[in-house]
A and B are shown apart, each in its own frame.
Chain A
Amino acid sequence: MLYVKRKTKVCGKNAASQYLGWLLLILFLASPVLSQDTDVFPVPDGYQIEGIPQIRKSEVENMFYDPASIRSNLIWDADRRNQRLLVTDETNSVYLLSSPLSKPDKLLEKIVPNTVKTRPDGGSFAYTSDHEDEDNYQLYFYDLKERTPKRLTTLTGKDESIESFVWSRDGDSLFYSKVDYDSKTSKVCRNDLTAETCYQIDLKGIWNVVDSNKDGILLKHWKASSSQLLYIYKIQSNKLTPVEEKANSRKGFLVDDRVFWTAEGSDLCAKKQCIFSSSLKSGGPKELNLPANLVNIDDVKFSPSGNYLLIQDSINGIDNLRIFRVKRDKVVEEIPRFISGSFVIWNIRWLSDTELAYTLENNGKPAAIQSFNIASKRITDWTKELLPAQLEGKVQSPEVIRWKSFDQHEITGYIVRPKVVVKKSPVLIFIHGGPQILDKPVFNSFDIRLASNLGLTTIHTNIRGSSGFGDEFMDADNKEKRGDAIKDVQSLLDWIGTQPDLDAGRIFIRGESYGGYVALSSALQEPRRIKAVVAEYPLVSIRGFLSQSWIDEFARNEYGDPKDENLMARLDQLSPLNNVGRWNNAPLLLTRGKQDSRNPEKDVTDLKTQLQKKGSEVWYIYSTKDGHGFGSKYVAAAMYIFLKQQIKKENQGETK
């Protein structure tokens, strides 16, 4: 009543109404100021930020889009018995796809599956996830009738992880390796879905379970990326036998009583890569006759009856699917190729003896699942991608680029240019982690957004150390050769300088994990040409990295022996840590997760502090809830604003 009376008086002629009028006027004038607070992009709970200006929502809202406007599905595994698929999407959930173009049925969410494998009868599946404890994977079982996950393993050691598993052929049990990163040993275990039994075999180093048959388990020992050795472990006799002593065997599998493996650097192989098979009983390696034009074998799978052989071959990150008819262990003919265009292909699965399912995507196309029937030559869509309208037609098709490094090694990458370039485009160089992985042109809406909103060209690099170009290239950055990888980036800067549509005066660099180290080191070596750096959860110092307890033989083969003081001192010179005097105040966006157990936190915070003391611009995001590999909308927004500001700054510099 009082309120109504007052409200009535607001428009009356007495003195109170005049005061109220003034109050209203003040509020009116202040309202734009107040409403500005609502335009603040919130810093997530658990984030501690330094040096980052307030981000306005209105400035970054075009970075994001409605999830319903995109569909990107990929195969996890096939249930051959029931002709259906387990698939994932951009959220990493697990769905059941019962038939082509049916609605995926969500089974699991908020997990971090590394591997998902269907039980042979199709009624359930197993998966590994490190959701509970980062980098320490557990094994789970999911029954499709009960629809609840069940954890099968218990990790009792200081730093254990289950990173590989296979189903037994009858589906009664799971075989897996339990890796202890603290003691640097692995155990081979069997779980019948109720209890675990570990075999009495002493495995030093990091081992994976690759395949199994009725009395043997195929194991892989990770000595180095170019030294992956396969062994057959016979359960009954508790005997371990090498498949081939010398060759680097990235792939291996068992068919009946034969073991098949890919081999590089084998004395038996006259080509770059071969596929051999050998009888588990009598031995005697036999080379599979393959065409000479296979460049980099990514995947090999026989059809269920063994009549067809699928080979996935990759050239500069673009995949080819090739199917061969096989008769008496010999390739007799190739099936005409059925995929046209340049795509990245993931997780191919045989659905029957004449049909296989696969996932296709590329830089401009979200992932979609198809199957191909060899008999009918028919392609069936299982899912259909959806691309938000605001992402359509914003970039030119990705193009593979090549440049010569200081030692004439050819280095490759791919470039994503804006559809329209006004004068010259600023450039963001992206360096992947690893380093033994391959950056492929997958659907990448961040590239598209940077191109369309900032006119920024992104160059994805596969500098030396990357996989996909042979063992020699993968080892070409090892130990004392680390600086050569940085020189690959320096050569890229030269290449950019020769491109008429790229602005060599506005080059920025971004790297994640090991790529963060290369980005930081490149900026240290190139203080004039690299204008700003984004280093996400980076490795900062190799000395610091190698000092961690989990570091194994694989890591030492890549980075060197921490006891080799000469090498460590040399590698120290590549890092901006303790070399800030040489840092030319390039602005740096740095991220770090508290749960990150891959790299020492002290190195990151020391670098940040040293640069801050020097007066460098540092944007720092520290997440107390995340670990290695973290990202978020806030990180994306901060990166966008950071790059936007750097581009603007350099523009102003140019006009001055």
Chain B
Amino acid sequence: MGLLSRISKAQRRTIFGRFVLDWMPRLSYVMVAVSFFWLLALPHQNYSHEVYLSENALLPGGANTRFDYSDVLAAEAYRDTVQRISTLSSYERAKALEQEFAQIGLKAATQNYTLNTSTDSKHGVNTYAVFYAPRSDGTEALVLSASWTSRDVTANTNAIAALLALGKVFKRGSHFSKDIIFVVSDGEAEGLMAWLKAYHGNEENTKDRAEETLHIRSGAIQAALNLDFAGTGDYNGLGIFFEGVNGQLPNLDLIKTVTYISGGLALTLHDEIVPYTDNMTKNYMNSLRRMLYMMKYQAAGTPSGNHGLYLKYKIDAITLYGFNRPGLDANRYGLFRLGSLVESTVRSLSNLLEHLHQSFFFYLLSGIHRYTSIGLYMPPVIILGVSFIFQALSLWGESSDLSLEVEAIAQGKEVPVTLPYSRRSRSFKTPATIVGMSFVAGLASFKLVKTEFGFPGETPLLKLVASVGVCTMLVFSAVSAARLRQHLLVKNEAEKKKAQVNSKSSSGEPAPAADWIMLKTFILALSALMVTTLSALNFSMAVSIGVVIVLPFMIFRPSKFLILNAIQIVILSVISPPGLVFLASWLYDMDVSLVLRWVLDGYEIFGTWLLPTLCCIYWPLNIASMVMVLMPTE
């Protein structure tokens, strides 16, 4: 009786196992579909909420601004001055600005820095000035910054003029609780980066990086506004840039404060004005485009403006960007409006009693007024990860011998019984070796791309080609080794069978599952690990990687038809890092070497994770899948 019940239990388990094995792959495809639809639904109005102000202390727009007509005149005068000195050398214009700040009555100083990357050498001088808030203890500070070079790669004249004029306005008031630091950084991002490093006492003095120690300091920086008002004219659009290094975001309250204060002046996300229409489809498409735009910056990890550098130091910051788009009312934003907007924002931030912490740090914006919270956007990535795991599990089950049955003798009868365990051995040697070697190759190509060897004619492109060569060699050798092994195994098997036939022993141990099954299990499990882990660190990067690899990695398997294999290999090559580089250069109509240099600069200057992630995690899995596709089917 006991045996029978045990047998029936085993049978039940078998049935369940079969069911799972049958349904798991299908289920995982369903999950992929769910995840895709969920992601696409995120920008929809019904899945996002109105951005609200969480921190009561901010009281946006509560203060009467003091920026008046005479300050506009002052700002215009400063604009001329800035325009005049903008053509001077770094050092001279920094010194001239220092003088201007000192004239207002602020403490001003300059800072030298040098930054050598593998492709470029940058040297510049920053100017900074501190307004000591009267009767404050100076433990907290706000930063207003502008770089000499704007997003448009022209002189940031209006922004610097606005800083000077605001300095004059602030000096008149006695109601600030925090010091205000003005930073005019040289170059694009490297100047501000050098300043921030030195402010936090991390200045270096090596061959590649040298930052002068700061002479004037204030307290802990609570928030920062970066101004980007290029040229000398007025603007018809004002946008907010907020994405930081590696997808870090400022507190949502900061964005809300600025939008709230701007009130009637329509602010936009980034540099595109999206009019609200009654057409739902159009609205949805606009939201989707905005969200993708944001996710693009997050995924690449490069900040969308200089504000991104602050976030690393736990300083919430955004960039205000003035732009001109044809087809809009002209001259909507002059110095007066910009000045009052910034002043009011600073007044509001100065009200803060604590560091910004009330509102969201993780969100997706589909418009300046609508956000999607982390609770809503995390599930699709997790579902994506789970679908990988389901695929891997079903393959793992396939590699066992669940289908094998043994004859058992119960109550004098022979009953076919499925064993609750697998007798089929799984060979880990081949998949582990291939995956391990791919990671080594990935790491090697990363080192190759980022290291400067110093031989003549050395370009990033050349190094990329070299690493592609390394990886191709790896694929070839792995595939040929696997095929050779297969050949030998088959030979062995045949001999063994012959021997078995001769000896007539019935200890028929089933042959282990094909190597590619094990390898694919490995790849899928590792992909799940990568996607879910990344989603906690950088959601957009995880989503984009997950979406790109999920179908190829799940569907692809070695085929008897050469043409299918070839198609698979082509697709895998396209989504491999070098393929992506070429794809990007084609999409953005840029030179390949420029794309490469952009990635390298991101890594070397900002320390983005794009290059290391692509080379050390993404590429190895891609290589392993290529090997998998080319492996013998049996």
Real binding pair: no
Query: What is the interface of chain A, defined by CB distance below 8 A to chain B?
Result: none
